[in-house]
Structure 1
Amino acid sequence: MSTPKRVIHVISHTHWDREWYMPYEAHHVKLIQTMDVLLDTFESDPDFRSFYLDGQTIVLEDYLQVYPEKRELLQRLCKEEKISAGPWYVLQDEFLTSSEANVRNLQIGHRDAAGFGPVSKLGYFPDSFGNMGQAPQLLKQAGINNAVFGRGVKATGFNNQVGEDSNLESPFSELMWESPDGSRVLGILFANWYNNGMEIPVDPAEAKLYWDHRIDSANRYASTQHLLLMNGCDHQPVQTNLSEALRVARELYPEHEFIHSNFDDYINDVFASLPPKLSVTRGELRGQKTDGWFSLVNTASARVPIKQLNQRNQTLLEKIAEPLATFASGEGKPYPHALLQYSWKTLMQNHPHDSICGCSVDEVYREMEIRFAKSMEVAKAIVQESAKYLSDRVDTSGFEELSRDATPFVVFNSSGYEGSSVVTVEVEWSRRYFKQSENPVQVAEEVRLRTHADGFLVNHLGARIDFVAEDLGVRFGYDLPDDKFRQPYMARALKLTFETGELPAMGYATFAWIPDATRARGQDRDSGNSLIVGPSALENAYLRVTVEQDGGIAVLDKASGQLFEGMGHYENVGDIGNEYIFRQPDGDLPITTRGNPALVRIVEDTPSRATIEIVQSMEIPLSADELLEREVRTMVSILERKSGRSKSLVTLSLVTRISLERLGRSVRVQVSFDNPAQDHRIRVLYPTGVQASTHFADSIFEVAERQNVPSAEWRNPSYCHHMQAFVDVHEDGRGLTVAGKGLNEYEVLQDGNNTIAVTLLRSVGELGDWGVFPTPEAQCLGRHFGEWTIVPHGGHDRIAAYREAHRFAVPVTPCQTGLHAGTLPPRYEFIRWDGDGVLFSSLKTNEQRGDWMARWYNVTGASSVIRLHTANVAEAYLSNILEDETSIEYEAISRATVTASEAKSSKVTPIGAYEILTVGLKK
């Protein structure tokens, strides 16, 4: 039998990092030049068949910012399939952007691409710093049957044999990639990177040397006769003489076929030629069977403040703005699709891997902060308008029986999980609007004289509840009516802190402040309700927290009877690495707060919450020693650096606040500190005392199980990992979950205690990679703040701990309203659901149909069911991540308000092991 003819598929492309070693606009100028040359090449060379635009539609958007008149030309080239469009909006970092951000990226990429021509159905991950385990399921739901990626798997070459049980390797560049739920796509690894066909020579002698090497390298890994040569690289200009270079190659190698190809043709040819059996790689691709130095996981801790802004922005959009706008749409308010898309796009412009990973020059992050601010301002406006629209339709007339001066407000919970929260709400009453001709000072005095700050707080049933009040006096405010000019006013204001009690998972409860001059502020408080049980101890029905003399904490989980001790100490080590890679100096020993006396004092003691403040200090080196600057300047590899830490010391003082709420099942922690040093890392340590070989981390639509001990190939002393919200270590009877806000890097230490170490700050002074790019602002000098929660559990109840971790990240939304009748009751749930092993992801409104789209995912290996109870919905159907109306499988759902006694009106849908399930709800 003759050997099949090798087919060399040359695909022209440029990998476009939107911002990286230069600021965005500097890269933007280069993009315009590159696109201009590309369009000229298409015009002048009919044999130049196609160009792959890096799988991201933002490249087209950025070009049209400068040349809006060229849209029709780009549309024609896309329809002729000379230029690709999509499937993504940006090439994101998968692990540092949320589950829903990954989905919105695919949704918006498809939507924008469809405006140009066919949507590229290529699962393109050329330079993601590791790949999410659920990518095959997401791609399959989007109608994509393949994934092309550059990292996370180490191909071993054609002559090596790797068994099917090998979790992270393949003998070929082609493999089957499987999600935890069993979804499979054809995976193609850039075994020779995505530049293995760049700058092809035209000179025959040079071409012969070039092709001998490139064909041999590609053939070493290929499982078929179809070899992939990627003609481009990072910001690579178009090779305008490619047609001539391929003509020379055909003359030199008549036994091969050279095609100026595209991904569609290449993928189809590979599918048609695959061997009977390929290795199967399951779950996350994170380079765990490499030496570990260049997995780039430490980008999860580069520029932590950027990660914190990202977490806040994502949460505001997907867990507050979208659900509240959806609730409001059910009551007749138009859903703000365009504004939400604008806000999402502005956020996602910060999501390319070199942006959100923190591995770019300082100018990039100054612009990113502006984008975060712009996105969040739009999202906040949507939240305020939606909450006001809903609040104005809540029946608050019952409070008038208590007082005609009652000031109602509504507290919305859109986290997807029911629970109690301690909230702080500012309320205003006795507003006095004034005209420009009036004297504001006199108006303010008028309000002051006729008002007071005494009274009591009631819930939706009229029952009085404990609170703490702070009189804010008379202050200025304004309304912006839809039908008239702005309306300034003066009003009395009060800040109330209280416990909401159990709020519906996706709903609200109503409260009211009742002014009453006969009752002093806080009079309803029962002094016997304090959670303080000692000079440094807190206790509620579920937990007992004790602060030790050195500032460590001990937590007793009453349900499991497990005691966790010595937790919450801080660790400091040197870092002579860069924005990509942490590197501790040789011989450097950790400096910790353990054993050092701490200042401990009670700073809050209310019926709903108590807080202990802990002040700890460490003397740490000012920076690395002088050698590091010379090593950076001369590009000494981080693996070969000999620099150590400075002998000069500075004081690092950390102020930690430990809070316990009356109904809380977790311990809330906040830390603030002023970073005085460079070239170092700060972590907080939580010994778990759990004897387990694996742990679990919140990731993209899964809680990924990971090994505590790295593979035999691992050489990096550090074994850090990504997390979204939390990391969990458990065994039967004992478990600990630590959940942070925008803290994306952790390590489970091999210290016999499976200590969870969460990175709070990493300070470095250079970008790294291919050149010398100083990044002094990446040293992160100055004020910092961190927030996380500790959830002890018994192992068997870990799902409840995960739900608590997710709820922790989503603040409730208060909104003041007036006394009025309404179509909505004082307490209400728009959607109620339950399902064993299931976590909630999102609720939004579909743009084309106006249907509500709700999503959950199963984090266990067992099938489950979701029981859904909702009102204002006529019928429901199963969908996918692109929100297609795939199949009608639910019966009609009652429009009546659903209560617990009406559970028979709920509908049940199965959800498979590790499945991502989207349900469409028709109004």
Structure 2
Amino acid sequence: MSNSRSKAFTFTLTGHAHIDPVWLWDRQEGIEVVKATFRSALDRMGENPDFHFMHTSAAQYEWMQVHPSLIDEIRGAVNTGQWELVGGQWVEPDLNIPSGESLARQALHGQRFFEHTFGRRARVAFLPDSFGHPNTMPQILKLSGLDYFLFWRPHPHEVNLPANLFWWEGPDGTRILSARIEAYNSNPSDVVDTLKASLDWRAPHSPEWLVVYGVGNHGGGPTKKAIANVRILMDDPDWPTLRMGTAQGFFERSEKLDDHPVFRAPLQYTFRGCYTSHSGVKRLNRQGEHTLSAAEKWSTIATSYGRAYPSERLDRAWKHLLFNQFHDIICGTSIPRAYDDVRYELGEAIGSGKRTIHEAMQVVAHQIDTRHDEHVVVEEAMRRVRTGFGNAVADMGDGVPIVVFNPNPWERREVIDVELNDWHVTDMRVLDDENRPVVHQLASSEAKPPRKRAAFLAEIPPLGYRVYRIIDAPPHPPAEDARPLLARERVLENAWWRLEFDARTGALRRLHDKRLDRELLSGAGAQVLVIEDPTNPWGKGDFFRHLAGVFGEPRIELLEEGPVRATIRITTRWGQSTARQDISIYRDSPAIHGHLQMDWHEEYRMVKLAFPFALEDVTATFSVPFGHVTQPPGGQEMPSQAWLDVTGLLTSTGKPTEANVEQLGDETVSMAEARARYVPYGVSLLNDGKYGADVLGGEVRLSILRSPIFGGGDRPDHPRHVDQYLDQGVSETRWALLPHAGAWQEAGVVHAAQDFNEPLTFVREYAHAGTLPRAKSFLAISPPRTVVLTALKKAEEGDDWIVRLYEPHGRAARARVDLHLLNTSLEVTLSANQIKTYRIGKDGRSREVDFLEEDVRTSSSDVKEPSA
């Protein structure tokens, strides 16, 4: 610092107050902290005309609208440039758990609030405390109207960057100028230490560095003392030039330099335990995301049939969901009472979404001609009978029409369970829209008679519906040449698989691919493991592999056996806890489904569900927001969303026959491939609300739950009487296996995961005339497994439709989107890993827009050709 040339280097200082709206306190206290912090920042501006302050989180500004004079003062400071709006999101979310679509909505609602309230948007993304950043974020941030990225985690011991100021490039080629700061919180004295540390931290190729200072976490911001300490150093000849300024100004000046290095990888991994802590909130988040997505789709379609689009209701639900994606909430690191508010809000969002779906479907269903024959006269067809329970039952139009809806833009063939109340006879028959019989089986109802539940294979057009009808007639038997479906006490078998369960452990002993005559397991599958986990909700280290025990003492029972589905239930115990797992296979589907219910009463331990696959030379692929990342299978805990995949070589263990291979005409395996010593093979594991897993060799272990102390530290020597443990009691996990020959990209894994999390739904109708046919598609993508639709909604302004797509496989794709209600088609071309959003008018005209629903901005620095 004694070098006389040091004044040629500049520190730009900007004030900040990191505010966790919820963490070791509840929301009410968070609101109080925001108000006090904003007041303090405005006071410092009045005392220091050169003082600059930046703040994120539109939700926190919305809280302050109950204090209009405070908002007016902030607006004035924004206009003078002293107050910098940064972040551009509703909150500072976690980035590993929310879906890509959720991150798009974080920007939509955050930037729109800034624009409407202050007349401008953020240009700097600021996420100092989030626990890792997936490789797809450069594109996500750019499409959010953000030009620069400022962060703190991960630290140098977690990710070794070429410099702390660099171009971060995503897998699609999008770049964003990014800076990792040395600190984002400081007490009044720490600001000097932060400046000293920043002398070595700064990017060596840059003549300027950004320093963020101010008391944080529980708010506060720069104090009078901190500012006074800065002013002392401003006059010190042994210090570089110090000036107060903005993050945006720092980046704009830095962008003019042409020698920033490029970093092409995720900014990961931090606090790997957070991928699993508080499994209940994570599952509610997944349910909320898919419920609101479906609600928007059906509400958009219902506008063509006279229903007003419920914008205010959906906005409110989305904001509830987005707020609870704040990193300390969704990552499970907050205190117990904070989660009371979380459950209320997520429950309200999901409930509102479900009501919206049902109302929109009712509107559509009312337009359908649900009669089995156009000559049926409804009034004459209505019959009333009295059951043995004294209930009057209406059989409308010679049967009960069931309208089954598919929320995804590709055809679906899935088993659906339909429950009815008005059945007064023993027999039931299911008919499709052309009055052809459909094989079904009676399934267990949650209620006692007279309610009955029928399970049958539904075939539904892309983002559309089909009418089925249940009538009073004997069930239709399977055809003589139907595929086999066998079930015994410990064996399930269909045309694709043979599953055998171990009587001693309850685990899956065999998973046999009948097509190739090969065993997929190298050990006990679907086994519930207990892991020693003596750390805190954040977790420590990269691995969770210290085995404490295995659930055992099994009770195995055949739960379902019929012409559609067969299910075995395995109940096991460990310590004070119970695991109940139902595993199902189907006659006409290769799906293998599991439903795990945990009743957990342990402390400082973790549960994993293990599948050791007999694969060699394995590559592990994990789903991330709007994409995927491939990693070597080294056993580290990894973030993953709705699916993960292991692909490698499967060793030959049998002698497949032509009959094995040709029996399943929809498969593409040749005899040469089947008889090879090693076959390219993989298995995808889908889930409905889990976000952590590890892969070691061919073994996949899905993380189910963790039980450290809420908001606490490592295992204490003397627990306090107020300590509560995470994930106690009953929780549920649905999972599915999707084995496949060859690469996962060819197996429809991404689309299967979307279907698994956004199920077919139905409404019960009565027989009536209508203008719509008994089967219809409203929107279809062809080819159907090329791109993924993540949004169909009404535009925030005007009556246009918004359609968002992304390319999931890492290769360029061309597709056609047929929007039948608008009488138009959209020809789209997406490069590898690209996200595109289209705004489509009622006249069929379309243009590409960003997440803010405005024309896409591009510059020479936005997109580069992806490097090899």
1:237 aligns with 2:220: yes
Q: 2:699 aligns with which of 755, 770, 777?
A: 755
Q: Which residue of 1 aligns with 2:385?
A: none
In 2, the alpha carbon distance for the partners of 1:652 and 1:98 equals 32
Q: 2:528 aligns with which of 570, 573, 590?
A: 570
CA deviation vs aligned residue, 1:781-814 (integer Å, no higher than 9, x gap): 2222221111111123544133222211112121
What letter is aligned with 2:304? G
The answer as to whether partners of 2:183 and 2:194 remain within 8 angstroms in 1 is no
How far did 1:770 drift? 11
Q: 1:864 aligns with which of 807, 813, 829?
A: 813
1:701 aligns with 2:703: no
Q: Which residue of 1 aligns with 2:838?
A: 919
Q: Which residue of 1 aligns with 2:793?
A: 844
How far did 1:764 drift? 0.9
Q: 1:424 aligns with which of 417, 436, 439?
A: 417
Q: Which residue of 2 aligns with 1:251?
A: 235
Q: 1:655 aligns with which of 580, 595, 598?
A: 580
How far did 1:856 drift? 2.2
1:815 aligns with 2:763: yes
Work out the number of aligned pairs and report it: 776
The answer as to whether partners of 1:544 and 1:556 remain within 8 angstroms in 2 is yes
Q: 1:465 aligns with which of 438, 458, 466?
A: 438
What letter is aligned with 1:77? A
Residues 811-820 or 833-842, more deviating? 833-842
CA deviation vs aligned residue, 1:486-537 (integer Å, no higher than 9, x gap): xxxxxx97433222432123111111222x3xx46x5767898872254432
1:908 aligns with 2:827: yes
How far did 1:568 drift? 1.0
1:539 aligns with 2:493: yes
Match of 1:913, SS? coil
Match of 1:90, SS? coil
Q: 2:636 aligns with which of 702, 705, 719?
A: 719
In 1, the alpha carbon distance for the partners of 2:407 and 2:179 equals 40
The runs of 5 or more residues in structure 2 that have no matched partner are: 382-396, 650-679, 843-868
How far did 1:423 drift? 1.9
Match of 1:720, SS? strand
In 1, the alpha carbon distance for the partners of 2:366 and 2:22 equals 44
In 2, the alpha carbon distance for the partners of 1:258 and 1:101 equals 39
How far did 1:153 drift? 5.7
1:27 aligns with 2:11: no
- Residues 699/559 of structure 1: CA separation in 2 closer, same or farther (3 Å cut): farther
- Residues 123/584 of structure 1: CA separation in 2 closer, same or farther (3 Å cut): closer
The answer as to whether partners of 1:725 and 1:805 remain within 8 angstroms in 2 is yes
The runs of 5 or more residues in structure 1 that have no matched partner are: 157-167, 202-206, 288-294, 430-447, 476-491, 619-649, 710-717, 875-892, 894-905
Q: Which residue of 2 aligns with 1:551?
A: 506
- Residues 765/398 of structure 1: CA separation in 2 closer, same or farther (3 Å cut): same
Q: Which residue of 2 aligns with 1:120?
A: 122
- Superposed, 1:5-404 pairs within 5 Å as 5-42=8-45, 44-53=46-55, 55-65=56-66, 67-85=67-85, 86-115=87-116, 116-152=118-154, 154=156, 169-190=160-181, 192-195=182-185, 198-199=187-188, 210=193, 213-214=196-197, 216-219=199-202, 221-232=203-214, 233-241=216-224, 244-253=228-237, 256-272=240-256, 274=257, 276-287=258-269, 295-318=270-293, 320-399=294-373, 404=397
Q: Which residue of 1 aligns with 2:861?
A: none
Q: Which residue of 2 aligns with 1:627?
A: none
CA deviation vs aligned residue, 1:312-362 (integer Å, no higher than 9, x gap): 1111112x1111112212333221111111000011121110000001111
What letter is aligned with 1:838? V
The answer as to whether partners of 2:303 and 2:309 remain within 8 angstroms in 1 is yes
The answer as to whether partners of 1:735 and 1:792 remain within 8 angstroms in 2 is yes
The answer as to whether partners of 2:14 and 2:245 remain within 8 angstroms in 1 is yes
The answer as to whether partners of 1:844 and 1:853 remain within 8 angstroms in 2 is yes
Q: Which residue of 2 aligns with 1:612?
A: 568
What letter is aligned with 1:546? E
What letter is aligned with 1:760? I
What letter is aligned with 1:247? R
In 2, the alpha carbon distance for the partners of 1:734 and 1:271 equals 46
What letter is aligned with 1:574? E
How far did 1:834 drift? 2.7
- Residues 587/744 of structure 1: CA separation in 2 closer, same or farther (3 Å cut): closer
Match of 1:252, SS? coil
How far did 1:562 drift? 4.1
Identity %, equivalent residues = 21
CA deviation vs aligned residue, 1:362-410 (integer Å, no higher than 9, x gap): 1111221111111112111111111101111112133576753432121
* TM value normalised by structure 2: 0.83
The answer as to whether partners of 1:350 and 1:368 remain within 8 angstroms in 2 is yes
Match of 2:53, SS? coil
Match of 2:413, SS? coil
- Residues 89/474 of structure 1: CA separation in 2 closer, same or farther (3 Å cut): closer
- Residues 155/6 of structure 1: CA separation in 2 closer, same or farther (3 Å cut): farther
Residues 297-306 or 657-666, more deviating? 657-666
In 1, the alpha carbon distance for the partners of 2:119 and 2:794 equals 25
CA deviation vs aligned residue, 1:140-166 (integer Å, no higher than 9, x gap): 22332221111236289xxxxxxxxxx
In 1, the alpha carbon distance for the partners of 2:607 and 2:134 equals 27
- Residues 922/538 of structure 1: CA separation in 2 closer, same or farther (3 Å cut): farther
What letter is aligned with 1:18? P
Q: Which residue of 2 aligns with 1:764?
A: 708
In 2, the alpha carbon distance for the partners of 1:907 and 1:791 equals 31
The answer as to whether partners of 1:124 and 1:148 remain within 8 angstroms in 2 is yes
Q: Which residue of 1 aligns with 2:402?
A: 409
What letter is aligned with 2:351? E
CA deviation vs aligned residue, 1:812-852 (integer Å, no higher than 9, x gap): 12112232222321111111113465333222221213222
What letter is aligned with 1:354? D
CA deviation vs aligned residue, 1:417-462 (integer Å, no higher than 9, x gap): 4222222223455xxxxxxxxxxxxxxxxxx9xx656543211111
CA RMSD between the two structures: 3.1
Q: Which residue of 1 aligns with 2:467?
A: 510
The answer as to whether partners of 1:530 and 1:610 remain within 8 angstroms in 2 is no
The answer as to whether partners of 1:669 and 1:788 remain within 8 angstroms in 2 is yes
CA deviation vs aligned residue, 1:743-770 (integer Å, no higher than 9, x gap): 1110012xxx420011112111253479
The answer as to whether partners of 1:360 and 1:767 remain within 8 angstroms in 2 is yes
- Residues 419/174 of structure 1: CA separation in 2 closer, same or farther (3 Å cut): same
- Residues 215/149 of structure 1: CA separation in 2 closer, same or farther (3 Å cut): closer
In 2, the alpha carbon distance for the partners of 1:786 and 1:587 equals 21
In 1, the alpha carbon distance for the partners of 2:796 and 2:39 equals 34
CA deviation vs aligned residue, 1:671-705 (integer Å, no higher than 9, x gap): 22321321111111111222235310111111211
Residues 735-744 or 835-844, more deviating? 835-844
In 2, the alpha carbon distance for the partners of 1:770 and 1:672 equals 27
What letter is aligned with 2:513? D
In 2, the alpha carbon distance for the partners of 1:571 and 1:455 equals 42
What letter is aligned with 1:696? T
Residues 173-182 or 543-552, more deviating? 543-552
The answer as to whether partners of 2:403 and 2:468 remain within 8 angstroms in 1 is yes
What letter is aligned with 1:868? V
- Residues 235/75 of structure 1: CA separation in 2 closer, same or farther (3 Å cut): same
Residues 378-387 or 529-538, more deviating? 529-538
Q: Which residue of 1 aligns with 2:671?
A: none
Match of 1:351, SS? coil
- Residues 731/913 of structure 1: CA separation in 2 closer, same or farther (3 Å cut): same
In 2, the alpha carbon distance for the partners of 1:235 and 1:113 equals 23
What letter is aligned with 1:815? V
How far did 1:579 drift? 0.3
